[in-house]
Amino acid sequence: MKKLLFTIALILAANPAFAKEYIIKEVTDDNAKKHNFFSPDKLTIQPGDTVTFEDAQDGPHDVMFNVVPKAVKEMIMSPTMEKKGEKFTYTFTIPGTYKFHCHPHEALGMTGTLIVGTPSKPGETKKVSHHDMGVKTAAGDHHDATASNLVQATGSVISVDAEKHTIKVKHDPIKSLGWPVMTMLFTADSSVDLSSIQAGDSIAFTLKPVGKDDYTLTALKKSQ
């Protein structure tokens, strides 16, 4: 009997039956002091717990973790969520401090902090950029996005601002950068003609790294 109870205890220890699930809403509220925010934007959980980020209304939001414990070896980021109720779920197993933001609204202060277990001590976290994080190729070689040549991508146009020479694109997964489907705003090179491009167009385009955390669209054409 003691051996059986010990075996059951080991199974329960290996499988956290009491792991909890949490929901963080991604909110746009024009009547609030901060128009775009996570609710809650600070949360403490335990290793093995799951957090679901949920779009609270129709509107573009995502979540990207830009500070994580050093033991985390993968990029934690969601696709762009554009419809109410769309979700991204992740189970956190590594203790420490995590910081995250919504890429479209980061400049507007849409950020948050997640503590898993206990906060990280100084020097125990690392900054991660979804733009320049290296990814593993099929051959197992390390690919550094910022040092690479031009990046080829496809997607559909959301909007074009000819005056600012910018284009918002919902791009398909870009494997060379480790990006899932996302809606992003790019500045187009001055040589790129945007006059014939409009919302709804399917395009193939080229991105060029222009800094640690940015890309410029250097060429595009409508897809057939």
- Per-residue pLDDT tens for 126-174? 998 755 444 333 333 334 444 446 888 999 999 999 889 999 998 988 8
The answer to the question of residue 134 being in a domain is no
Query: One-letter amino acid identity for 178?
Result: G
Q: How many domains does the chain have?
A: 2
43 and 108 both lie in a single domain: yes
The answer to the question of residue 6 being in a domain is no
| pLDDT score at 75 | 84
46 and 87 both lie in a single domain: yes
Mean pLDDT for each 10-residue chunk of the chain (224 residues)?
54 62 93 90 96 92 93 87 91 96 86 97 88 39 48 92 90 81 87 92 90 79 82
114 and 194 both lie in a single domain: no
The answer to the question of residue 93 being in a domain is yes
CATH code: domain of residue 59? 2.60.40.420
The answer to the question of residue 192 being in a domain is yes
In which domain, by residue range, is 204 found? 142-222
CATH code: domain of residue 216? 2.40.50.320
78 and 152 both lie in a single domain: no
The answer to the question of residue 135 being in a domain is no
| pLDDT score at 108 | 84
Contact 130, 145 (CB under 8 A): no
119 and 60 both lie in a single domain: yes
Contact 209, 176 (CB under 8 A): no
Against a cut of 0.85, is the pTM above it? no
> Taking the CB of residue 184, how many other CB atoms lie within 10 A of it?
20
Contact 61, 38 (CB under 8 A): no
- Domain C-terminal end among 101, 128, 155: 128
Token pair for residue 102?
């919504």
